[in-house]
Amino acid sequence: MSFVQIWRKEKWRITFLVAFLSISASMTACFWFRQPPLSAAAIAPRMNSAVDAVIAARKADIASISDVPFGDIKTINVLVLGIDSRKEGNEKHCDAIHMVSMNVQDWTMKVTSVPRGTYAYIPPGTYAENEYYLANACAFAGLDYGIEQIERVVGVRADYVVSVGFSQALGILRALELPTTESLQWLRHRQSYSIGDPQRSQNQAVFMKDVGLRMFQGGGIPDVLLRMLYSFVDTDMDYATAKTLYDGFRLNGIADRPDDVTLTMKPHYDVREIHFDPTQATAQIDALVAKLQGRLSRFDLSNKTVEEIQAELVKYLENSLKTGDDFATIFDEKLWLQVEETGTRESLEYRFIEYHVRSLSSSDHDAAIQYVADYILEKQTQGMLVWEQKGRVLLEKLVGE
């Protein structure tokens, strides 16, 4: 489904408004003429459904206008980190580092990128001196320590931190209908550039700017899609603040002011501005890879095929559902998003969510209901009617408990 098709779904607002006005008019007429009110079934038969009521309430909550006051604050600094958190390793490296400084008075933005290989002191441990760089500071000394070192390099403190793991990045790319494999290859690639890692960091910033501006075009993206994207990241920023920032930049026309989104790098490197073209993704990646023919060592290549790696991943996820092993980690990182085959991925996601909400329901029933409602809205937005229906069945059971 294209962005245009998603935006067309905003027509539900008009439908909702008409229905609301009709119901309000009916209730007003009943009051003035002292007639018994119409039954809910006569006004809107589907409103008899508790599931529909929950979903409608959740959609209205997501769509509600956020207006978080910033007071005298001029700039909000958000540290965006791409975390290497695939199942192969326990250490989480800061593979992408970008400080996004948002001026909430003139609604401009500056992205300061820091190459992952930038030197950072790390307390002594079981690693070599040549491993003293920012990505490893996060992994070896902990994320909080790594953030402190990043703030030293950039020269500002982060007001909020947004981290995105490997799996979540795939989910964001799919939600925005970008090619997953090629986009990640582009964002992670460095070997073809003579300057290496700094150019990769610059490419990531350019990609973020291009995709971000696209999200602000026209009337912006639907509220449900914005909430879905928010759910893919780990952050200490609440959703109301995130939505206020998004609405502020959209309403102040940032999409028409691309020059007001500036890119810089610390330490400074002479890098180029190279754009990723989703419509020519395969050709663009092939051109990069062609430059590496005969240059990479055999240790840079895996002896396993993509099919073998995917089979191992699915087996690992299936085992977790059976035994409960690593369930919390898998669920937090949404590891099923790494599964390429759509049917298998959607089935695994539903089963993990079903397992999670059954457990959550015993301690926080309302939170479990809200979680499934969000899942249903997500599948509506993606046009996955089969999984939307399965979510509705699950929600109906929860509501009836």
Q: Using DSSP, state whether 55 is helix, strand or coil.
A: helix
pLDDT at 313 over 90: yes
Mean pLDDT for 3-12 is 37
Identify the pLDDT of residue 38: 37
Among candidate residues 345, 400, 350, the one with its CA nearest the CA of residue 372: 350
pLDDT at 369 over 90: yes
Among candidate residues 359, 314, 315, 365, the one with its CA nearest the CA of residue 339: 314
pLDDT above 70 coverage of the chain, percent: 83
Among candidate residues 348, 369, 349, the one with its CA nearest the CA of residue 358: 369
Identify the pLDDT of residue 66: 77
Higher pLDDT, 261 or 32: 261
- Output the six-digit token pair for 357: 């909400």
Mean pLDDT for 335-350 is 95
pLDDT at 169 over 90: yes
pLDDT at 39 over 90: no
pLDDT above 90 coverage of the chain, percent: 64
C-beta atoms surrounding 222 within 10 Å: 22
Contact 88, 112 (CB under 8 A): no
pLDDT at 14 over 90: no
pLDDT at 30 over 60: no
Identify the pLDDT of residue 167: 92
Identify the pLDDT of residue 23: 31
pLDDT at 147 over 80: yes
Q: Which of 17-31, 114-128, 195-209 has the highest mean pLDDT?
A: 195-209
Cα dihedral 46→49→55→61 (10° resolution): 90
What tens digit of pLDDT does each residue of 73-98 get?
A: 999 999 999 998 554 445 678 999 99
Contact 160, 189 (CB under 8 A): no
Please provide the distance, in angstroms rounded to a whole number, between the alpha carbons at the two ends of the chain: 35
- Output the six-digit token pair for 394: 């699950």
Identify the pLDDT of residue 106: 96
Instruction: Give the DSSP letter of residue 106.
Output: T
Mean pLDDT for 367-379 is 95
Q: Which of 136-140, 212-216, 287-291 has the highest mean pLDDT?
A: 212-216
Compute the mean pLDDT over every residue in the chain, rounded to the nearest whole number. 84
Confidence bin at 145 (pLDDT 50/70/90): very high
Identify the pLDDT of residue 360: 95
> Of 156-160, 198-202, 305-309, where does mean pLDDT reach its minimum?
305-309
